């Protein structure tokens, strides 16, 4: 179930496919609005102006809670998707929404120039290789990050020594082998990541680090993992945004 966004509120809805486990949710617009309104309560309007769609999804319980991605019609705009079956715990929902906002913050069109040929032809290796060759910065998988973008700065600082090893894992097509290789990768470099999920990719790493930056006290510089949190303190605009989000969070949960 996908809603357009109009004046910061859920607009028209389109039901592309409603699985059996979501039949009870078909007409539960009020619960959908609660989640969307919570996201808008946490994130300032100017920081989410490019979010044009909100989708209620499910892949079953206790799997993927939320995701973001460029919209098909206009890749400079983004869609937020939330699994309604996994959204009842406010702590988990808060952390996940902030993680997803971390993607929006670091991958939006002001930070990354999306390659439309790659985006619309995800299985075409020629388009992908050409896009990588034309990018002098970190290529996110869908586009070239700007030289001074958060993503490119984060990658240059924390991923250049690991990236070739990670790429070999990422190219592994057998799912079981890939998962084992990734698990081993995390175990080797455990002190460099805040969570095992952060080791999935540079994009997930920066999003996880952003969520920790917002929700955790400022740490000591005693590990690379903590250095990733401290990275955001170098940007005054992000420090101010952190404080605004925390202020908004305190309004939602005054105790």
In the sheet that 78-83 helps form, which strands lie side by side, from edge to edge?
9-14, 2-6, 51-57, 78-83, 66-70
Nearest to 99 by CA among 231, 204, 186: 204
Per-residue pLDDT of the chain (255 residues; tens, 9 = 90+): 889 998 888 888 887 666 666 666 655 788 899 999 999 999 999 999 999 999 988 777 767 889 999 999 999 999 999 998 888 889 999 999 999 999 999 999 999 999 999 999 999 999 999 999 999 999 999 999 999 999 999 999 999 999 999 999 999 999 999 999 999 999 999 999 999 999 999 999 999 999 999 999 999 999 999 999 999 999 999 999 999 999 999 987 765
Strand stretches in the chain, DSSP E: 2-6, 9-14, 51-57, 66-70, 78-83, 112-114, 143-145
Q: Residue 16's pLDDT is what?
A: 64
User: Rounded to an integer, what distance in angstroms lies between the CA atom of residue 33 and that of residue 130?
Assistant: 42
pTM (2 d.p.)? 0.91
The three-point CA angle 115-44-236 to 5° equals 80
What residue spans define the domains of the chain? Answer: 2-107, 146-252
Q: Is 46 exposed, middle or buried (0-12, 13-18, 19+ CB in 10 A)?
A: exposed
The answer to whether 143 and 112 are in contact (CB under 8 A) is yes
Backbone angles phi, psi at 182, to 5 degrees: -70, -40
Structure tokens at 96: 């996940």
By the 10 Å C-beta count (0-12 exposed, 13-18 middle, 19+ buried), 40 is classed as middle
Phi, psi of 80 (to 5 degrees): -105, 130
């Amino acid at each position: 179930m996908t809603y357009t966004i109009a004046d910061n509120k859920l607009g028209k809805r389109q039901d592309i496919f409603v699985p059996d486990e979501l039949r009870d949710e078909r007409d539960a617009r009020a619960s959908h609005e609660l989640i969307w309104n919570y996201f808008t309560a946490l994130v300032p309007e100017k920081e989410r102006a490019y979010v044009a769609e909100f989708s209620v999804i499910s892949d079953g319980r206790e799997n993927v809670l939320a995701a973001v991605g460029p919209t098909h019609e206009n890749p400079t705009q983004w869609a937020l998707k939330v699994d309604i079956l996994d959204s009842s715990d406010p702590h988990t929902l808060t952390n996940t929404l902030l993680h997803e906002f971390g993607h929006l913050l670091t991958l939006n069109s002001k930070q990354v120039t999306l390659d439309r040929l790659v985006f619309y032809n995800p299985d075409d290796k020629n388009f992908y290789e050409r896009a990588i060759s034309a990018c002098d910065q970190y290529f996110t998988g869908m586009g070239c990050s700007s030289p001074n973008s958060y993503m490119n700065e984060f990658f240059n600082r924390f991923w250049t020594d690991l990236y070739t090893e990670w790429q070999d894992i990422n190219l592994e097509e057998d799912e079981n082998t890939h998962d084992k290789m990734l698990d081993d990768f995390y175990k080797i470099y455990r002190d460099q990541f805040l969570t095992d999920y952060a080791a999935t990719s540079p994009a997930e790493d920066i999003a996880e680090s952003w969520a920790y930056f917002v929700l955790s006290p400022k740490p000591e510089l005693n590990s690379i993992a903590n250095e990733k949190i401290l990275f955001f303190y170098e940007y005054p605009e992000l420090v101010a945004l952190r404080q605004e989000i925390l202020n908004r969070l305190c309004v939602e949960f005054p105790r």
